[in-house]
Amino acid sequence: QVQLVESGGGLVQAGGSLRLSCAASGRTYSLYGMGWFRQAPGKEREFVACIIWSTGTTYYADSVKGRFTISKNNAKNTLYLQMNSMKPEDTAVYYCGTGISTLARDYDYWGQGTQVTVSS
């Protein structure tokens, strides 16, 4: 099993920045990729970005492309999401998961989530 713990959420004004972290532990040697999703109240979990662990290849949702950057630290088994130029519509609970897909059902493990709120 893999355990994931997110941190770094909070309240930020529109146009501001936040950096989320996701620390992985357990069977991290089996990691192929990791991703970030978000879920706003009353909505389905939505793909944000993902990264292939071995190559660093990244994929982004169109809604965040150019504003968000996904990265990783292999030595620390930690995933990051740098969020810049944030908008009120970025408000959601952000989750990290293990997998490499734009579909939430393809991910095996999830963290508990961290709340991000962007005020206008």
98 touches 28 (CB < 8 A)? no
Given this model, what pLDDT does residue 33 score? 94
Cα–Cα distance between 43 and 14 in angstroms, integer?
A: 21
Q: What is the pLDDT of residues 6-15, one digit of tens each?
A: 999 999 999 9
Distance of CA 79 to the CA centre of its chain: 8
- Tell me the pLDDT band of 35, cut-offs 50, 70 and 90: very high
